[in-house]
Amino acid sequence: MRGEPGIRIDWLRTLSAKRQEALRAGHLRFAREAPRGGVLHCFVLDCSGSMLAGQRLALAKGLLIALFDRASAARAEAALVCFGGAAADVRFGPAVPRWWNERWLSPVGGGGGTPLTAGVRRASELLDRSARRKPGQQRWLWILTDGRTRDMPARPLDADEVVFVDFEREAIRLGRCETLADAWGARRLTPEELMLMG
């Protein structure tokens, strides 16, 4: 653990666990340090018609507000790419979200097809620019989708970590988020699992 980059002893939590006892290995608490080049969280939101079923888009927006709040508290940069219909647009950032709230997301509507490839392409361009501007930055890509598409885009080269938040709820599942997560070496979470990580 000591030699692992980005890990340090959290002395406040360690001393709290130790109390009046002699320091033992079991008392040690560790914290992950933010990369020196900072962090960028790029969120890609599926705004297609299928996301309107069962209030999925509303749930995704609620999760995004919480994730943007978390990025702001950590002084991390964030960006938002929305895709749906036949287009994909950068709606925010990359920037530190200082005044992020529900009003930013309320105009984001849903409908039409699921151009996942276009959304991933826009995110990839954004991550590429960020990698050239801040090479030491750690870049996270979050894709919030139900995966109701035939698109199988390539993994963006400049994403250090990728998380699929899988909103698929149909009885007969396509499992595209699982397939892509496996192909990309990414994590796949349900919205409920993400909320528990709070």
> How many domains are there within the chain?
2
Please tell me whether residues 59 and 124 are part of one structural domain.
yes
Domain holding 192: CATH number? 3.40.50.410
Confidence (pTM): 0.79
Please tell me whether residues 29 and 47 are part of one structural domain.
no
The 3-class SS string of 63-85 reads HHHHHHHHHHHCCCEEEEEEEEC
Please tell me whether residues 3 and 84 are part of one structural domain.
no
Over residues 135-178, the pLDDT tens digits come to 999 999 999 999 999 989 999 999 999 999 999 987 778 889 99
Question: Range of 148's domain?
Answer: 39-197
Name 99's Cβ contacts closer than 8 Å, sequence gap at least 6: none
Please tell me whether residues 96 and 177 are part of one structural domain.
yes
Please tell me whether residues 79 and 154 are part of one structural domain.
yes
Please tell me whether residues 8 and 94 are part of one structural domain.
no
Please tell me whether residues 16 and 48 are part of one structural domain.
no
Mean pLDDT calculated for residue range 4-22: 66
Please tell me whether residues 124 and 182 are part of one structural domain.
yes
